[in-house]
C-alpha cells in the first residue's frame, strides 16, 4: 500500500516587516542617519518607520547636543531636523562660533578649509592651522611651510588614501594631503607640516593644478598647467628624488599659459584645460604612457570669447566662464550647447551647482543667479535673480546646494544668499574687532563653516566661523527687498 504524500508547503518566513513598530523603532536606534535614509527607500512600511519622531529626535540631539524644541509648529521631528540642517548651511544665525587670527600684513592669496584644518598662502609661504589643536591649547597647532622660493599659484587638498598607499588605517583615510604649485617651477606635496615630495619639470612657473586626481585605480595622477604652455601628468605613487621620475607625460598643444584644469564628470581619465587665449582642449590621459611628447592625447578642441575666469565639469558637460558669458560645451562632441549666462560688461567670478541646473556669476557691483533650463532656447539669457548690495567687483564666489556666498575687495563683509531664490540670508563682517581692513582677499566654505581672509596696512585677518551649534536665528525682514526677480516661466511657454 502506497505511503500518503507528505505536505511540501513550508511555513512563511518571518521578515523584518513582521516585527511590531515599537521593536523596529528600537532596532533603528542602532542605525546611522545614512542607514535610516536607505531604510526609508526599501518599502512604504519601512519608510513610515524611518520617518518616526523618536528616531529623528535622537538624531537631532546627537547632531547638535541640544534638546529637541518643544514647539515645532506641528511639524514632525524629521521636518524640524531637516529645517535646522538647511538653516545652518545657509548661515541663518547670528551667533556662530568665531575665531580670528592676525598675521603679517600680506594678502592671503589662497585659502582652503577641510574639516578641522585651515590652509592659506601668503607669497611663497603656506600656513597651516589645526583648529582642534588650537582649541585644546596645544603648542603645535600652527605650522609655516617655507620650502617654496616664489609665490604660490594654486593649492589643492586630496584624500591621503588617494595620494599614497604607504599609510593605512581608518583615521588616516580621513586625512588630506596638501598640494601646492609655485612660480619657482615646482609642485610640492605636504602632510603633517612637512614636504613629502617635490615635482619639477615645467620650464617656468606652474600656474594651475587639476581640481581632482585622474584615474580610477590606485595609480592616481595629478595634472598641472604651466606658463610654458604645457600640461604635465605626475604619478603620485612614484618616489623619485627630485620628482623627475614622477613625470608620466608632457602634453603639448597650447600656445599660451595654461590657466585652469578640470576633470570631466563622465570619465575620470579625461582632462579639460583652458589657456590664456581661451583655447579649450580635452585630453585622454589614459593613452599617455610615457614622459615623451604626447600631442595625440588631445581628443577635442574648441574656443570661447574673452578672458577665462573659471570652468566646471558636470557629467559630460563643460561650463566655461570667460569674458562676459558662460558657455556650456558637450565634451562628447565639443559642440557648444547653450549660452547659459551673459553678465556685462565682464565676469569676475563664477560657480555652479549643475545638479540643480543653477549657476551664479559675479560682476561689477552685483552677482546674478541663472537657471540653465530657462535659457536653453533663448538667444538672450535672463537671470532669475540679481544679488545686489556689493561695492566694486564680486571676485569671491562660492555656491552649493543651499547657499551662495559673495564678496569682493571693496566690501567690508560677505553676503549669503538662498541658492533657490536669491534672497539674502545673512551678512558677515570680515573682522569683529575695530580697525580698517580691506575687502575679501580669499574665502573658503565647508558645509556650515566659513573662513575669510582680509588685510590692511598693519596685518592680515583670517576669520573662521562655525554655525553648527548656533541658536540665535537671523530675524526675518518681510518688507526688505534683497534681490530682483523676473516672472517665473511656465512649462507651457
| Phi, psi angles (nearest 5°) of residue 364 | -85, 110
Q: How far is CA 372 from CA 113, 263, 304, 327, 475, in A?
A: 29, 21, 18, 10, 32
Binned at pLDDT 50, 70 and 90, residue 294 comes out as low
Q: Are 49 and 23 in contact (CB under 8 A)?
A: no
Given a cut of 60, whether residue 167 has pLDDT beyond it is: no
Given a cut of 60, whether residue 479 has pLDDT beyond it is: no
- Residue found by looking up cell 524611518 in the block: 50
Binned at pLDDT 50, 70 and 90, residue 481 comes out as very low
Given a cut of 50, whether residue 485 has pLDDT beyond it is: no
Quote the DSSP letter at residue 472.
-
Phi-psi region of 306 (alpha: psi -120 to 50; beta: other; left: phi over 0): left
Cα dihedral 130, 132, 135, 138 in deg (nearest 10): -60
Q: Are 190 and 199 in contact (CB under 8 A)?
A: no
User: Can you tell me the mean pLDDT for 78-88?
Assistant: 94
Quick: pLDDT tens for 314-336. 999 999 999 999 999 999 999 99
Binned at pLDDT 50, 70 and 90, residue 16 comes out as low
User: Can you tell me the mean pLDDT for 355-366?
Assistant: 95
Binned at pLDDT 50, 70 and 90, residue 219 comes out as confident
In terms of C-beta distances under 8 Å and separation of at least 24 residues, what long-range contacts does 70-77 make, across chains too?
A: 76/51, 77/53
The pLDDT score that the predictor gives to residue 432 is 59
User: Can you tell me the mean pLDDT for 459-477?
Assistant: 89
| Phi, psi angles (nearest 5°) of residue 32 | -80, 170
Binned at pLDDT 50, 70 and 90, residue 281 comes out as very high
Q: Which of 267, 224, 217, 226 is nearest to 246 (CA)?
A: 224
Binned at pLDDT 50, 70 and 90, residue 487 comes out as very low
Instruction: Provide the β-strand partners of residue 414.
Output: 428
User: Can you tell me the mean pLDDT for 299-311?
Assistant: 96
Given a cut of 60, whether residue 489 has pLDDT beyond it is: no
Given a cut of 80, whether residue 95 has pLDDT beyond it is: yes
The pLDDT score that the predictor gives to residue 2 is 56
The three grid cell numbers given for residue 52, joined into one nine-digit string: 518616526
Q: Which of 429, 404, 398, 434 is nearest to 417 (CA)?
A: 404
Q: Which residue has the higher pLDDT, 435 or 147?
A: 147
Binned at pLDDT 50, 70 and 90, residue 304 comes out as very high
The pLDDT score that the predictor gives to residue 4 is 59
CA distance linking residue 314 with residue 182, whole number of Å: 28
The pLDDT score that the predictor gives to residue 189 is 94
CA 228 to chain centre: 28
Given a cut of 80, whether residue 433 has pLDDT beyond it is: no
Element containing residue 371 per DSSP (H, E)? strand 367-371
Given a cut of 70, whether residue 434 has pLDDT beyond it is: no
CA distance linking residue 410 with residue 216, whole number of Å: 43
The three grid cell numbers given for residue 398, joined into one nine-digit string: 562660492
CA distance linking residue 181 with residue 133, whole number of Å: 27
The pLDDT score that the predictor gives to residue 105 is 77
The pLDDT score that the predictor gives to residue 246 is 87
CA distance linking residue 63 with residue 81, whole number of Å: 9
Given a cut of 90, whether residue 358 has pLDDT beyond it is: yes
Quick: pLDDT tens for 52-63. 888 898 899 989
The pLDDT score that the predictor gives to residue 138 is 84
The pLDDT score that the predictor gives to residue 486 is 42
The pLDDT score that the predictor gives to residue 5 is 56
Given a cut of 50, whether residue 418 has pLDDT beyond it is: yes
Longest alpha-carbon distance in the chain: 110
- Worst-scoring range by mean pLDDT, 150-154, 421-425, 433-437? 433-437
Binned at pLDDT 50, 70 and 90, residue 460 comes out as confident
10 exposure class (CB count in 10 Å sphere: 0-12, 13-18, 19+): exposed
Q: Are 423 and 389 in contact (CB under 8 A)?
A: no
The pLDDT score that the predictor gives to residue 375 is 81
Q: Which residue has the higher pLDDT, 138 or 293?
A: 138
The pLDDT score that the predictor gives to residue 239 is 57
| DSSP E strands, 241-316 | 247-251, 258-263, 270-275, 279-284, 298-303, 308-314
CA distance linking residue 397 with residue 404, whole number of Å: 7
CA distance linking residue 414 with residue 437, whole number of Å: 13
H-assigned helices in 66-119 = 77-89
311-331 as b/e: b if 16+ CB within 10 A: bbbbeebbbbbbbbbbbbbeb
**For residue 157, what are the contacts with CB-CB under 8 A and spacing of at least 6?**
112, 114, 119, 176, 177, 178, 179
Q: Are 256 and 271 in contact (CB under 8 A)?
A: no
Q: What is the mean pLDDT of the chain?
A: 86
Highest mean pLDDT among 60-74, 327-341, 432-446: 327-341
The pLDDT score that the predictor gives to residue 321 is 97
Q: Which of 335, 377, 379, 340 is nearest to 358 (CA)?
A: 340
Query: What pTM did the predictor assign?
Result: 0.88
- Residue found by looking up cell 579625461 in the block: 270
Q: Which of 55, 62, 57 is nearest to 39 (CA)?
A: 55
Amino acid at each position: 500500500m502506497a505511503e500518503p504524500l507528505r505536505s511540501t508547503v513550508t511555513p512563511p518566513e518571518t521578515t523584518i516587516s513582521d516585527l511590531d513598530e515599537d521593536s523596529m523603532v528600537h532596532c533603528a536606534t542602532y542605525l546611522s542617519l545614512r542607514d535610516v535614509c536607505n531604510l526609508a527607500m526599501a518599502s512604504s512600511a519601512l519608510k513610515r518607520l524611518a520617518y518616526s519622531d523618536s528616531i529623528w529626535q535622537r538624531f537631532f540631539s546627537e547632531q547638535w547636543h541640544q534638546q529637541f524644541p518643544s514647539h515645532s509648529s506641528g511639524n514632525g521631528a524629521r521636518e524640524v531636523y531637516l529645517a535646522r540642517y538647511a538653516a545652518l548651511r545657509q548661515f541663518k544665525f547670528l551667533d556662530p562660533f568665531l575665531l580670528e587670527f592676525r598675521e603679517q600684513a600680506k594678502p592671503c592669496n589662497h585659502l582652503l578649509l577641510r574639516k578641522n584644518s585651515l590652509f592659506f598662502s601668503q607669497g611663497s609661504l603656506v600656513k597651516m592651522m589645526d583648529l582642534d589643536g588650537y582649541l585644546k591649547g596645544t603648542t603645535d597647532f600652527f605650522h609655516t611651510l617655507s620650502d617654496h622660493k616664489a609665490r604660490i599659484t594654486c593649492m589643492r587638498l586630496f584624500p591621503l588614501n588617494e595620494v599614497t598607499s604607504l599609510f593605512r588605517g581608518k583615521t588616516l583615510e580621513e586625512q588630506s594631503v596638501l598640494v601646492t604649485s609655485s612660480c619657482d617651477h615646482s609642485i610640492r606635496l605636504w602632510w603633517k607640516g612637512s614636504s613629502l615630495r617635490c615635482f619639477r619639470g615645467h620650464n617656468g612657473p606652474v600656474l594651475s593644478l587639476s581640481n581632482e586626481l585622474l584615474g580610477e585605480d590606485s595609480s592616481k595622477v595629478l595634472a598641472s598647467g604651466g606658463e610654458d604652455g604645457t600640461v604635465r601628468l605626475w604619478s603620485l605613487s612614484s618616489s623619485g628624488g627630485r620628482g623627475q621620475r614622477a613625470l608620466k607625460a608632457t602634453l603639448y598643444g597650447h600656445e599660451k599659459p595654461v590657466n585652469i584644469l578640470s576633470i570631466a564628470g563622465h570619465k575620470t581619465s579625461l582632462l579639460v584645460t583652458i589657456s590664456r587665449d581661451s583655447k579649450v582642449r580635452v585630453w585622454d590621459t589614459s593613452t599617455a604612457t610615457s614622459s615623451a611628447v604626447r600631442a595625440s592625447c588631445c581628443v577635442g578642441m574648441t574656443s570661447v570669447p574673452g578672458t577665462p575666469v573659471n570652468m566646471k565639469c558636470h557629467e559630460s558637460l563643460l561650463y566655461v566662464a570667460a569674458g562676459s558669458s558662460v558657455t556650456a560645451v558637450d565634451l562628447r562632441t565639443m559642440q557648444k550647447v547653450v549660452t547659459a549666462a551673459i553678465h556685462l560688461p565682464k565676469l569676475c567670478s563664477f560657480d555652479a551647482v549643475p545638479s540643480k541646473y543653477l549657476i551664479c556669476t559675479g560682476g561689477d557691483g552685483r552677482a546674478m543667479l541663472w537657471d540653465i533650463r530657462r535659457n536653453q532656447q533663448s538667444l538672450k539669457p535672463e537671470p532669475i535673480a540679481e544679488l545686489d548690495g556689493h561695492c566694486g567687483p564680486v571676485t569671491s564666489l562660492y555656491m552649493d546646494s543651499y547657499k551662495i556666498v559673495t564678496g569682493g575687495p571693496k566690501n567690508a563683509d560677505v553676503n549669503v544668499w538662498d541658492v533657490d531664490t536669491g534672497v539674502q540670508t545673512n551678512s558677515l563682517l570680515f573682522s569683529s574687532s575695530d580697525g580698517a581692513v580691506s575687502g575679501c582677499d580669499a574665502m573658503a566654505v565647508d558645509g556650515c563653516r566659513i573662513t575669510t581672509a582680509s588685510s590692511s596696512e598693519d596685518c592680515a585677518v583670517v576669520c573662521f566661523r562655525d554655525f553648527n551649534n548656533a541658536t540665535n536665528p537671523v530675524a526675518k525682514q518681510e518688507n526688505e527687498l534683497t534681490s530682483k526677480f523676473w516672472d517665473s516661466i511656465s512649462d507651457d511657454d
